[in-house]
Amino acid sequence: MDLPFHAQLINLFAALLLLLAFAMLTQRRILSLINLFAAQGFVLVLSTLVVAYSTHQSHLYYSAMLTLVLKVLLLPWIMHRLIRALNVRWDVETLINMPATMLIGIVLVIFAFNLATPITQFAGTINKSTLGIATACILLAFLMMITRRKAVSQVIGFLAMENGLFFAATSATYGMPMVVELGIALDVLVGTLIFGVFFFHIRETFESLDIHHLEKLKER
Amino acid sequence: MNVTSGIIFQVLQSVLVVLIAPLMLGWVNQCRAWLQNKSGAGIWQPYKVLHKLFHKDAVLAHNASPLFRVTPYILFGCMWLAVGIVPVLATSLPFAPAADVIALVGLFALARVFISLAGMDVGTSFGSMGARREMMIGFLAEPAMLMTLFTASLISHSTSLATIVETLGHREFVIYPSMAFAAVAFLMVLLAENARIPIDNPSTHLELTMIHEAMILEYSARHLALIEWAASLKLTAYVAIGIAIFVPWGIAGAGDWIGLPIALAALVLKLVGAGAGLALLETVSAKMRIFRAPEFLGTAFMLATLGMLIHFLLER
């Protein structure tokens, strides 16, 4: 293995992203979940900066700044406020127990790595092998959305999925056009705000944030 | 390689590690005391305990079998052999080809089987309870430990610890993301295997949740001393394996007299750092319920497996 140093750094950040994705998958407390989400955003910022520096793509600096402001500061702050207002701290009941979730997670990672291998053989970017990790992050976030019951952790899963997509974009194609990136950032922000409103409505109607209750909804 | 100096190095390392193992335990306990705002018993306390225990008369239960009596010696022998195999001071020692990492894990398993049998031998409820728990922790920790060691083996293309250390220690600096995963997994296994805080509390024998202490409740005097000494040797052996795989810099080659003082200084520095880190980790974390232990060790196994997967994806 004789990769240049910045490619090694990006590989390290990719591994950290995967580690944080697993940590979020197995985390029970919502507060720690939000902190892990912020940490994942921060690793994303660092990896974007390294890609920007090593490939001299100046627009990636802007997207790194955008990620920093939005995913490390603003979104965690909104989520913190939300859970304080809703007074939810715990999300104990997962649908599948933790060791089984972890095993499914490992299977997903193997699947993602296998899926990405033929694609990366044709890629010419400096850090082509990270596409597998980005795919794994997306699938793990999916799994988290499936296994959680409470609406708040499902939304965090959704946001974590966006993290994975963003990482795939920066590592595989050196980032999306600025217009697209701004659009997605705005979408995520507005989405979170609307979800916040939804949380209150769900709780007012069912007196719980457990989306299990939504299944019983029927017309009268 | 000069055979004579190789043997001298081997003897030097084995004797040195046996002598400093209680000191390592004392240092960890002293750090813990400092972190908890206590004055602590001093780093020489384990030697005083050993001295006291060796001068007492041994008491045995009426229905104790010979197995109960020989277990402390077997345990001590296993751990001593383990620290002889792990490259602590120097690599390529005469003992090193005797066992690779898989055999080393087997050696620890042998010790575990005997201590568990001895715990059940007298027939007290505490003993058999501790033995059952020990076996449960062991069968969960072993796969994680092997996976961790395999990650290092994959990078260095060998399962021999000496070769792993030489490959990882003497090459230009490369970041291995897989090794970061393996290091975290190894740390978790180390805590579980050495009856440290998230799994077991080493400083009590008054709890219903104890594991290691429950098995050795029936032992006294020189038998107990040997078991305690073996426990501190096990801790030192695990820390030494961790150092050998994850921070191997500064280790001497066999028969390399000039490298010896540097290796010794590096070893002392690393052990002091590792002990302080261990104490800090034990202070900030709380003991978890015994039923959460499978989850803890399952996470360790998962991390080790991820490390291997990442090695295949990123580092080939």
Closest partner residue to A15 among B174, B295, B310, by Cβ?
B310
Instruction: Name the burial class of residue B234, with classes exposed (0-12), middle (13-18) and buried (19+) by CB atoms within 10 angstroms of its CB.
Output: buried
For the ranges A46-50, A99-103, B48-52, B66-70, the lowest mean pLDDT is seen at A99-103
Per-residue model confidence (pLDDT) at position B265: 84
The per-residue pLDDT for range B194-234, each reduced to its tens digit, is 888 788 777 776 667 778 888 888 888 889 999 989 999 99
Output the average pLDDT for chain B: 84
Q: Do A109 and B309 touch (CB under 8 A)?
A: yes
* pLDDT band per the 50, 70, 90 thresholds, residue A25: confident
Q: Is the pLDDT of residue B1 over 60?
A: no
| Cβ contact, residue pair A15, B314, below 8 Å | yes
Q: Which residues of A fall within a CB distance of 8 Å from B178? A: 15
Q: How far apart are CA B199 and CA B33, in angstroms?
A: 19
Q: For A26, which of B299, B305, B314 is closest by C-beta distance?
A: B299
Q: Which residues of B touch A1 (CB under 8 A)?
A: 174, 315-316
Mutate to test the interface with B, among A1, A9, A127 (most CBs of B within 10 A): A1
Residues of A in contact with B299 (CB under 8 A): 26, 102
List of residues 6+ apart from A141 with CB closer than 8 A: A21, A24, A157, A158, A160, A161, A163, A164
Q: What are phi and psi of B54, to 5 degrees?
A: -70, -20
Q: What percent of chain A has pLDDT over 90?
A: 4
Contacts of B315 in chain A (CB under 8 A): 1, 11
Mutate to test the interface with A, among B179, B313, B316 (most CBs of A within 10 A): B313
Tokens of residue B304, six digits: 């080790």
Give yes or no for residue A217 having a pLDDT over 70: no
Quick one: which of B10, B90, B92 has its CA closest to B258?
A: B90
pLDDT band at A54 (very low <50, low <70, confident <90, very high): confident
Query: For residue A2, what is the nearest residue in chain B, using CA coordinates?
Result: B174
* DSSP string covering A49-116: HHHHHHHT-HHHHHHHHHHIIIIIIIHHHHHHHHHHHHT--B---BSS-HHHHHHHHHHHHHHHHHHH
Residue A219: pLDDT band by 50, 70, 90 thresholds?
Answer: low
pLDDT tens sequence across B141-156: 899 999 998 888 888 8
- The secondary structure of chain B, three-state, reads CCHHHHHHHHHHHHHHHHHHHHHHHHHHHHHHHHHCCCCCCCCCHHHHHHHHHHCCCCCCCCCCCHHHHHHHHHHHHHHHHHHHHCCCCECCCCCHHHCCHHHHHHHHHHHHHHHHHHHHHCCCHHHHHHHHHHHHHHHHHHHHHHHHHHHHHHHHCCCCHHHHHHHHHCCCCCCCHHHHHHHHHHHHHHHHHCCCCCCCCCCCCCCCCCCHHHHCCCCCHHHHHHHHHHHHHHHHHHHHHHHHHHCCCCCECCCCCCHHHHHHHHHHHHHHHHHHHHHHHHHHCCCCCHHHHHHHHHHHHHHHHHHHHHHHHHCC
- Answer with the residue of higher pLDDT: A127 or B244: B244
Tell me whether residues A15 and B312 touch, CB distance under 8 A.
no
Using the predicted structure, report yes or no on whether residue A89 has a pLDDT greater than 70. Answer: no
Compute the distance between CA of residue A18 and CA of residue A12 in angstroms, rounded to an integer: 10
Q: What is the mean pLDDT of residues B169-177?
A: 72
ipTM: 0.73
A119 touches chain B (CB under 8 A): no
Q: What is the reported pLDDT for A56? A: 80
Query: What is the least distance, in Å, from the CA of A12 to any CA of chain B?
Result: 5
**Would the pLDDT of A116 be above 60?**
yes
Q: What is the pLDDT of residues A145-191, one digit of tens each?
A: 888 877 778 888 888 888 888 888 887 777 677 777 778 877 888 88
pLDDT of A220 = 55
Residue A157 phi/psi, 5° resolution?
A: -60, -40
Nearest to B306 among A11, A26, A109 (CB): A109
- Nearest by CB to B299, from A16, A18, A102: name it: A102
A15 to chain B, closest Cα gap in Å: 6
Beta bridge partners of A148: A94
Condensed to tens digits (0 to 9), the pLDDT of residues B186-203 reads: 999 998 888 887 887 777
Q: How far is CA B140 from CA A92, B129, B189, in A?
A: 24, 17, 9
B55 Cα to chain A: minimum distance (Å): 48
Whole-number Å distance between alpha carbons of B57 and A212: 66
What does the pLDDT read at residue A125? 59
pLDDT of residue A124: 62
For residue B253, is pLDDT > 80? no
Q: How far apart are CA B34 and CA B22, in angstroms?
A: 18
Q: What is the mean pLDDT of residues B52-70?
A: 87
In whole angstroms, what is the distance from residue A27 CA to residue B216 CA?
Answer: 36
Partner B contacted by A92 (CB < 8 A)? no
Flag if A129 and B313 touch (Cβ within 8 Å): yes
Residue range A48-59: average pLDDT?
83
Running DSSP on this structure, what letter comes out for residue A128? T
Count residue pairs from A and B with Cβ separation < 8 A.
63
End-to-end CA distance of chain B: 33
Residue A64, min C-alpha distance to chain B (Å): 22
CB pair distance less than 8 Å for B310 and A12:
no
Orientation of helix B101-121 relative to helix B221-246, angle to 10°: 160
